[in-house]
Amino acid sequence: MKKEAQAQGNLALADKPQVITIAPTKQDSAVKLRVAAYARVSSASDDQLNSFASQTQHYISLISSNENWSLVDIYADEGITGTSVDKREDFKRLLADCRRGLVDRILVKSISRFARNTTECLEAIRELKALGVGVHFEKENIDTATMSGEMMTTLFASFAQAESESISSNMRWSYQKRMQRGEFITCSAPFGYHLHNGMLEIDEAEATVIRLIFDRYLSGISMADIADEITQLGFPTRAGMPYWQYSTVYYILQNERYAGHALLQKFYATDTLPFQKKRNHGQRDKYYISNSHPPIVSQEIFDTAQTLLRSRGDKSPHTPRTKYAFTLAIQCGDCGTYFKRKVSRGTTYWVCRKHHTNSSDCKMPPIEQANIEKAFLRLYYNLKHHGTPILAGMITSLQAIRNRQLLWSPDIIELNNQISQLSSQNQMLATLKQQGLIDPDLFISQSNELTQQLRAVKLEKERLLAANSDNTITQTQELMDILDAGPDFLDTFNTELFGELVDRIIVDSNEQLRFRLKNGLELTETIERTIR
């Protein structure tokens, strides 16, 4: 029995799992924190560019000197304002890299360098925190990785926003006083001029185009044909676009600056963030300064052009130059024929030409003009009060599609490769500095050279993207500007607004109209019958 019990005990021990610990022969090194830095200056002046370079240099040295940190990249924007993230390309690139899981920590000099808009600041910080990315603001000694840090961020961001609004208010007050004294002319020169010591001087190369426009228009050539001619001659616009538009020619023909005068404050900026530019329809004073700068065309030529603009009915770039607003603007959805105007027993109708000639050829019935006008009034109300998100979303989608297409173009691919190579060289240089394998003076000179090269490549990429912009995006933005400047309500049909917003009306049936806007977007409205 004793032997049997011992045998059973040995069997039990044999069935029990045996654990053997194998000691490591090599320990993994500590995982380094992936750190990025964001730097920004608010103007393109030489002093600010020096600050921009010093910020970049500061963060390269700071991150490289910490053995527990690994440099991801230095994200830097220059020569732009900080009141909105829309114009900060490197800031958006930083957020994109954080979403891809490439960054653990971000270093910023101060909250005012990160954002001056409280809402956008907190939205970015909360998103980064959700991604596990902390932001450290050196000046305020705030780390968003802690809840108390985020609470303090709200306070400091509010201060920064108030400071930005105060600065903008002071600048507007300064501009206003200078306009009243006739000392302020413009912050940017129109096509045909350049700024020298704050004064407009004629750019002879561009002035040739201005004189050509006035000469052709006074010769009876339409603005659309003039735009096509200048495009074919190869003159780029002030924005660098290769093509000219009807609206650009119109703007030049009615701009008093080409006769040597200045009408100031045609537009004004709103008082609170985000600042918006609005057309001045009497909300602010305007100031007219005679003989403020050298003219490109004589007063006689300019006045003659204004007379011709009025006589031709060219009141705006999109106003129809026909006797009636709906002439060649209403198209039959059944047969494609344009509608014609018809008056019967004192009531105005618009009828398909084919139907009018022979009703058996097209069954589309006539539409009363009053019902078409009412449909446009409803369309305008919906666009004015509910259309901005739709149009803004359309612009965002078009830009995304365009950018995706451009990303595969050979030029953009080559520039992206250059950006990647230069960034890698910069990081390698920082690693050599950290390991003490490079002379500090040589490190600074080579780092500055790489930074300049990287900036030049990024600017070239930005130029290519701008040059390939979709015309639909421009047209959509113009629609948003027109709606923004238009009245909140329309009591009666407005011919000018119709011409600016609508390209044509397609009659789908006797109950539905389809309005095709200038950017190609189509919106439907029902036809409400007039009760008699």
Residue pLDDT, tens place only, 405-414: 556 667 777 7
Same domain, 205 and 265: yes
268 — pLDDT class (breaks 50, 70, 90):
low
Q: What is the largest CA-CA distance in the chain?
A: 132
Mean pLDDT rounded to a whole number for the chain:
75
Q: What's the predicted TM-score (pTM) here? A: 0.35
Same domain, 155 and 199: no
Helix spans in 131-243 (H):
147-180, 204-218, 223-233
Q: Specify burial of residue 212 (Cβ count, 10 A radius: 0-12, 13-18, 19+).
A: middle
What CATH number has the domain bearing residue 219?
Answer: 3.90.1750.20
Is there a domain that residue 272 lies in?
A: yes
Last residue of a domain, one of 168, 196, 212: 168
Same domain, 401 and 510: yes
Is there a domain that residue 3 lies in?
A: no
Token code pair at residue 261:
């005068």
Same domain, 419 and 495: yes
273-299: average pLDDT = 70
Instruction: Please report, as a single letter, which amino acid is at residue 324.
Output: Y
Contact 57, 76 (CB under 8 A): no
3-state class (DSSP) for residue 294: coil
Angle between helices 299-312 and 204-218 (to 10 degrees): 50
Separation between Cα atoms, residue 124 and residue 121, nearest integer Å = 5
Instruction: Please report, as a single letter, which amino acid is at residue 366.
Output: P
CA distance between the termini of the chain: 118
Is there a domain that residue 471 lies in?
A: yes
Separation between Cα atoms, residue 498 and residue 505, nearest integer Å = 11
Same domain, 306 and 331: no
Same domain, 67 and 122: yes
Is there a domain that residue 43 lies in?
A: yes
pLDDT tens per residue across span 438-453: 777 777 778 778 877 8
Angstrom distances, CA of residue 83 to CA of 4, 163, 165, 296 = 88, 11, 9, 36
Question: Would the pLDDT of 81 be above 90?
Answer: no
How many domains does one find in the chain? 3
Question: Would the pLDDT of 349 be above 90?
Answer: yes
- Domain residues for the domain of 210 are 185-312
Is there a domain that residue 174 lies in?
A: no
Is there a domain that residue 27 lies in?
A: no
224-229: average pLDDT = 83
26-42: average pLDDT = 73
Residue 40 pairs in a beta bridge with 77
Separation between Cα atoms, residue 441 and residue 66, nearest integer Å = 20
Token code pair at residue 361:
């050829």
Last residue of a domain, one of 109, 142, 168: 168
Question: Would the pLDDT of 19 be above 80?
Answer: no
Last residue of a domain, one of 258, 285, 312: 312
What CATH number has the domain bearing residue 51?
Answer: 3.40.50.1390
Angstrom distances, CA of residue 391 to CA of 105, 216, 395, 514, 532 = 36, 35, 6, 17, 38
Question: Would the pLDDT of 193 be above 80?
Answer: yes
Which DSSP state fits 528? P
Separation between Cα atoms, residue 365 and residue 374, nearest integer Å = 18
Contact 465, 403 (CB under 8 A): yes
Same domain, 40 and 76: yes
Separation between Cα atoms, residue 387 and residue 502, nearest integer Å = 14
Same domain, 302 and 331: no
- What pLDDT does residue 296 have? 92
- What pLDDT does residue 374 have? 92
Same domain, 514 and 416: yes
Pairing status of strand 105-108 against strand 33-40 = parallel
Separation between Cα atoms, residue 404 and residue 382, nearest integer Å = 32
Same domain, 296 and 333: no
Question: Which residue carries 């909360």 as its tokens?
Answer: 126
27 — pLDDT class (breaks 50, 70, 90):
very low
Q: Specify burial of residue 320 (Cβ count, 10 A radius: 0-12, 13-18, 19+).
A: middle
Same domain, 416 and 505: yes
Same domain, 294 and 345: no
Strands (E) located in 11-153 = 33-40, 69-77, 105-108, 134-137, 142-143
Question: Which residue carries 């006035």 as its tokens?
Answer: 214
220-224: average pLDDT = 83
Is there a domain that residue 234 lies in?
A: yes
Is there a domain that residue 24 lies in?
A: no
270 — pLDDT class (breaks 50, 70, 90):
low
Contact 506, 514 (CB under 8 A): yes
Question: Would the pLDDT of 147 be above 60?
Answer: no
